[in-house]
Amino acid sequence: MVSILITGSTIFTGKEIIRDGYVYIKDGKIKKIGVQPIPEEINEPSLLLGGKGRIIAPSLSAIADIAIFLMRFYKLKMNKRIEFYKMLSQKELFTLSLPAIYELNMHAITTIFVESINISYVLDLKDKIGGYYGIAKPACIDSLAVPPSLVGEVNVKGFGCDGQGINDDDNEYLILLGKNSYNTSNIENIYEKSEKLRSLAGLSPNIIKENNNAEIAVYDTSKPPAMNFYKCDLDCIKNIYNENATLESLIAGENVLVDIGGHLRIGQKHLKEAESLADKITNDEKFRQILF
């Protein structure tokens, strides 16, 4: 059984702040949250994270077009993105998605609604990389059978793909479709937009409280950038996602995805494979007809 103890100078639970607190996780669930010192019954956790100057916060949920990530500079509209997805194999979709998962995780996103017409590679990402995944189904395609191992489905619509769903450029939710990058620093009220997306998908709020799944980001504000940010008040602390603070750790259930500022599941080998495949695709005439 995996147990994780996180300590921090400030915990933003999603509703309030706790100073000099701790979060204890066991088997992917938050078992206890409180003010230090650590209770005697919490002894010998499998992993100890955080420390002085850290901010512990709920992680985020977003919709993203992960398989198109390395072609994002072509700014493909939804109809072209769908055409692109149809031309790729399950393995190619998986490989091309790895840099996007890396970047999303490094922006504290643990629940990803993947714009997709193919369930299989999303299941592979869940099993091999970790984190939580749902489907952002284009409104103009047939229904997809989303298995219970994924967190659900939302419908999205855009240029050349009409129907029932939210627009791919809607700014009421945390939607990262058709963007040049997944940088979240300029998005206002990012936690609220993430939570609104979870509500739309029928997920419970991501609040740091006992018995919830652990979806937690740990930021190091003991040094620049955002040095001493942990000392500010609630309204200020809620902006931690926008302050370019160092994401030190990221936990999704039993999986630690990021630690000591580095991704634990996606390495340089995977990124190089994805880059090589993207180069091959952009030089393939049948794909260039979509990209240009």
Asked whether residue 193 falls in the same domain as residue 242, the answer is no
- Residue span of the structural domain in which 135 resides: 60-199
CATH number at residue 28: 2.30.40.10
> Per-residue pLDDT tens for 83-139?
999 999 999 999 999 999 999 999 999 999 999 999 999 999 999 999 999 999 999
Out of 20-29, 71-80, 250-259, least confident range:
71-80
Same domain, 26 and 44: yes
pLDDT in the model for residue 290: 85
- Which residues have C-beta within 8 Å of that of residue 2, sequence separation ≥ 6? 26, 27, 28, 46, 47, 254
Whether 108 and 9 share a structural domain: no
In a domain, 102, yes or no: yes
Q: Extract the tokens encoding 68.
A: 């198109």
62: number of Cβ within 10 Å: 25
Q: List CB contacts of 267: < 8 A, sequence separation 6 or more.
A: none
Residue 27 has pLDDT above 90, yes or no: yes
Within a domain: residue 283?
no
Say yes or no: 190 and 215 in one domain.
no
Q: Is the same domain home to 24 and 133?
A: no
Instruction: Output the pTM of the full model.
Output: 0.96
Query: Quick one: 7 and 20 in the same domain?
Result: yes
Q: Are residues 46 and 73 in the same domain?
A: no
Q: What is the pLDDT of residue 75?
A: 87
Instruction: Find the mean pLDDT for residues 142-165.
Output: 94
Does residue 142 or residue 94 have the better pLDDT?
Answer: 94
Provide DSSP, the chain.
--EEEEEEEEEE-SS-EEEEEEEEEETTEEEEEEESSPPTTS-S-SEEEEEEEEEEEE-EEEEE-GGGGGGGGG---HHHHHHHHHTS-HHHHHHHHHHHHHHHHHTTEEEEEEE-S-SHHHHHHHHHT-SEEEEEEETTS------TTS--EEEEEBTTB-SSSEETT-SSS-EETT-S----TT-TTHHHHHHHHHHHTTPPP----TTSB-EEEEEE-SSSSSTTGGGS-HHHHTTGGGTT-EEEEEEETTEEEEETTEESS--HHHHHHHHHHHHHHHT-HHHHHHH-
Token pair in block for residue 166: 């939210």
Assess whether 107 and 194 both reside in one domain: yes
Cα–Cα distance for residue pair 15/190, rounded to 1 Å: 14
Whether 212 is covered by a domain: the verdict is: yes
Q: What pLDDT is stored for residue 184 in this prediction?
A: 85
Report yes or no on 265 lying in a domain. Answer: no
pLDDT, mean over the chain: 95
pLDDT attached to residue 236: 94
Q: Do both 181 and 108 map to the same domain? A: yes
Are 91 and 24 members of one domain? Answer: no
Calculate what percentage of the chain has a pLDDT beyond 90: 88
Q: Is the pLDDT of residue 181 over 90?
A: no
Is 232 contained in some domain?
yes
In this structure, the answer to whether residues 183 and 237 fall within a common structural domain is: no
Q: What is the pLDDT of residues 262-277, one digit of tens each?
A: 999 999 999 999 999 9
Q: What pLDDT is attached to residue 185?
A: 81
Report yes or no on 226 lying in a domain.
yes
* Burial group, residue 235, by CB count within 10 angstroms (0-12, 13-18, 19+): exposed
Q: How many domains does the chain have?
A: 2
The predicted structure's pLDDT at residue 141 = 93
Q: How confident is the model at residue 32 (pLDDT cuts 50, 70, 90)?
A: very high
From 145, 168, 141, 173, select the one nearest 157 (Cα to Cα).
168
Arithmetic mean of pLDDT, 60-71: 96
The verdict on residue 21 lying in a domain is yes
pLDDT at 128: 97
Q: How confident is the model at residue 192 (pLDDT cuts 50, 70, 90)?
A: very high
Is residue 281 in some structural domain? Answer: no
Q: Are residues 89 and 33 in the same domain?
A: no
- Assess contact for 156 and 166: CB atoms under 8 A: yes
